[in-house]
Amino acid sequence: MILGLDISTSITGVSIVDRNNELIYCEAWRTDKSKLSFFEKLDIIKDKICYINSQYPIESIFVEEPLGMFAAGRSSAQVISKIQRFNGVVCWMLREVFGMDPIYINASTARKKYGIKIRRGQKAKEIVLQHVLKNEKSFKMEYNRNNNPAKGVYDKADSLVIARAGHYLIKEEAKKGNKYEN
């Protein structure tokens, strides 16, 4: 089984697909309560990682590459630093719990492998969600009281794209006679 994650300090999207690329698990782990410390958020994630390990025989782990550059008007150095630290600690936890290194995959690469094209000026999160809803019968869409996507829906969709891209990368390497290395 392949575990795909979209790690964030507020909501982490997590998906699992099996060897047949069937969706087995797709959740949003929320750590967005303002009173939680950085380490309390990590405690929540660690408990959930341990749960996944106890329930599913994970063979590969793919993680969306963390934000690495400034986006005008969107992220400060402090925010990027916090996201990078959080991502690094979660990846270390994944390695400790599952005994394998997670593989980083760029969001654009993952979308391309999954057949999603984002044109300049389009909102990637919206396009990804629409693609997932169109192609994933078992994806559970949730709405808030204003009939907008509920918190965590975009993160779940992103993690599913990462898991599916991981599956495709493993298949491509197998066709070449190689094993995808963790």
**pLDDT tens-digit readout, 93-115:** 999 999 999 999 988 888 988 88
pLDDT of residue 135: 85
Closest CA to 59 of 106, 91, 16, 6: 16
Average pLDDT of the residues of the chain: 87
Closest CA to 180 of 165, 170, 167: 170
Crossing angle for the helix pair 153-175 and 124-135, nearest 10 degrees? 70
Of 8-22, 53-67, 117-131, the least confident: 117-131
pLDDT of residue 157: 92
Could you give phi then psi for residue 55, rounded to 5 degrees?
-105, -25
Mean pLDDT of 133-146: 85
Check pLDDT > 80 for residue 29: yes
Can you list the domains of the chain with their CATH numbers? 2-175 (3.30.420.10)
Distance CA 170, CA 159 (A): 17
Check pLDDT > 60 for residue 160: yes
**pLDDT tens-digit readout, 35-65:** 889 899 999 999 999 999 999 999 999 999 8
Bridge partners of 63?
A: 5, 104
